[in-house]
Amino acid sequence: MASPLGAGDRPFDAEGLGVPALVVASATTPGARAGVRRWWRRFARNPGAVFGLAVFLAIVAMAVLAPVLAPYDPIAQGVGNPFERPSAAHWAGTDSFGRDIMSRIIYGARVALVVGLVAVLLAMVIGVTLGLISGYYGGIVDTVIMRIMDGLFAFPIIILAIAMMAVMGFGVRNVIIAVAVGFIAPFARVTRGDVLAVKEEPYIEAARLAGVGSFAIIFRHVLPNVLAPIIVQGALRVSGAIITESGLSFLGLGPPPPTPAWGRMIAEGQAFIVMAPHVSTIPGIALMLAIVALNLLGDGLRDTLDPRMRR
């Protein structure tokens, strides 16, 4: 009987898999480090994944170093003439207010990344907790939680996010919450499914017989063993969260202006597509690069981390 991690009954299998090794990498035991190295070698063989990681790190750097990198103040109007074509002075041209588009793209990375990462993290914490409780306790608790998740799951993400924005009003914090709510159900489902398998393992039974409390069993023994698919799920969802954020921004329901958000920049540029196509098209390139990179990175993580996907 193979465990869902395919790693036998050992709660941690730093040598064989590299998955839990990543989880305990902070322990910096020699075995864990070897596991990480092994995982990395596998990861590095996938050119798409490496490209994705490189672009993702570049975007992170762009967001963190925005004040240093951006040539102009992203919300200052009239740093150039309106609708200047891309030039040496304005690499991506200027928009209808004479704002520097490159600077706005660089700062826009902050909104995209913050929303993408924080929303997924929030959804992960809530969804995984619900999935752990649901899967471990079963019964009526399980039924109630999972029926609510089924209901949430029926909502198209962007439509749920639109509804949430209607309830909460605009602003970056509310965008994060709106996007996060849409991603809770997938995390709960994935976690619950794996918990159901893990909780039948002998070491869980052993812990229970040894008198370890439910809380400790869930977080110390069950969670680490279901974490790999959750991390994969998280990586795959970040691009979805960024797409949702940019979609909300595009509809005018995102962070209020003049905050630079890629979706809103694309929307604002659409009116000028005939006379100044660069206003709309160039921010879209940044958005698409980010999404392609995150999709490739997510696929790479899935192929190397999730043993079920590895053949």
Please give the residue ranges that form the binding site for another protein (CB under 8 A): 147-148, 150-152, 154-159, 162-167, 169, 239, 243, 246-247, 250-253, 263, 266-267, 269-270, 273-274, 277, 280-281, 284, 287-288, 291-292, 295-296
Q: Give min distance, CB of 234 to another protein, in A.
A: 18
C-alpha 18/C-alpha 228 separation (Å) is 10
If DSSP codes are grouped into helix, strand and coil, which group holds residue 14?
coil
Burial of 112 (C-beta count, 10 Å sphere; 0-12/13-18/19+)? buried
Q: Give min distance, CB of 289 to another protein, in A.
A: 9
If DSSP codes are grouped into helix, strand and coil, which group holds residue 253?
coil
- Toward another protein, which CB reaches closer, 87 or 143? 143
Q: Give min distance, CB of 298 to another protein, in A.
A: 11
Question: Which residue do the tokens 């869980």 mark?
Answer: 204
- Toward another protein, which CB reaches closer, 188 or 204? 188
- Toward another protein, which CB reaches closer, 97 or 155? 155
- Toward another protein, which CB reaches closer, 194 or 268? 268
C-alpha 144/C-alpha 181 separation (Å) is 17
In whole angstroms, what separates CA 95 from the centre of its chain?
30
Q: Give min distance, CB of 104 to another protein, in A.
A: 15
C-alpha 266/C-alpha 252 separation (Å) is 11
Residue 148 backbone dihedrals phi, psi, to 5 degrees = -60, -40
Bridge partners, 100 (sequence order): 94
Residue 307: is the preceding peptide bond cis (ω within 30°)?
A: no
- Toward another protein, which CB reaches closer, 145 or 198? 145
Q: Give min distance, CB of 12 to another protein, in A.
A: 32
Q: Give min distance, CB of 266 to another protein, in A.
A: 5
C-alpha 213/C-alpha 226 separation (Å) is 19
Q: Give min distance, CB of 37 to another protein, in A.
A: 28
Residue 258: is the preceding peptide bond cis (ω within 30°)?
A: yes
- Toward another protein, which CB reaches closer, 216 or 271? 271
- Toward another protein, which CB reaches closer, 224 or 277? 277
